[in-house]
Each structure stands twice: as C-alpha cells, then as structure tokens.
C-alpha cells in the first residue's frame, strides 16, 4: 500500500469534513439570524399596532383637541 497516497486521501477527506461542517455552521447562523429578524418584526408590529390603536382611541375621546381662537 502506498502510505503517502493514503495520507493525502486522509487529509482530503478531513478537509472535506471540515468544509462541510463550516458550511453547515454558516447556514445554521443565517437561519438563526432570519428567525431572530422575524421575531423582532413580529414584536415591532404588535407594539406598533398597540400604539396606533391607543392613539386612535385617544383621538376618538377628544384627546388633544384644541379649541380654535377666532378673531
């Protein structure tokens, strides 16, 4: 058996495993970041909706109404 060839094949196989592991790690981080962005967008939408409804309710009961000064 050619041990030098066996060493090269082992090194290539090990490099392939490391490359696959790195790609899988990067894909996992990207999916995790997308999940975080989706959660952040949902929280922002809920908070924005509550603020919007609160403002509309405030205006509906006459909040912020300033009487006009007529000359």
Instruction: Indicate the DSSP class of residue 36.
Output: H
pLDDT > 90? residue 27: yes
Confidence of residue 32 (pLDDT cuts 50, 70, 90): very high
pLDDT digits (tens, 9 = 90+) for 44-63: 999 999 999 999 998 888 77
Per this entry, what is the length of the chain?
A: 71
In the chain the first and final C-alpha atoms are separated, in Å, by 107
E-assigned strands of 2-69? none
Q: What is the pLDDT of residue 59?
A: 86
* Model pTM above 0.85: no
Average pLDDT, stretch 8-28? 95
């Amino acid at each position: 058996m050619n041990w030098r060839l066996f060493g090269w094949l082992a090194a290539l196989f090990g490099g392939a495993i490391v490359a696959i592991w790195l790609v899988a790690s990067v894909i996992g981080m990207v999916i995790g970041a997308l999940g975080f962005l989706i959660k952040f967008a949902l929280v922002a939408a809920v908070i924005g909706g509550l603020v919007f409804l609160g403002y509309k309710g405030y205006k509906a009961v006459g909040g912020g109404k300033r009487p006009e000064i007529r000359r």
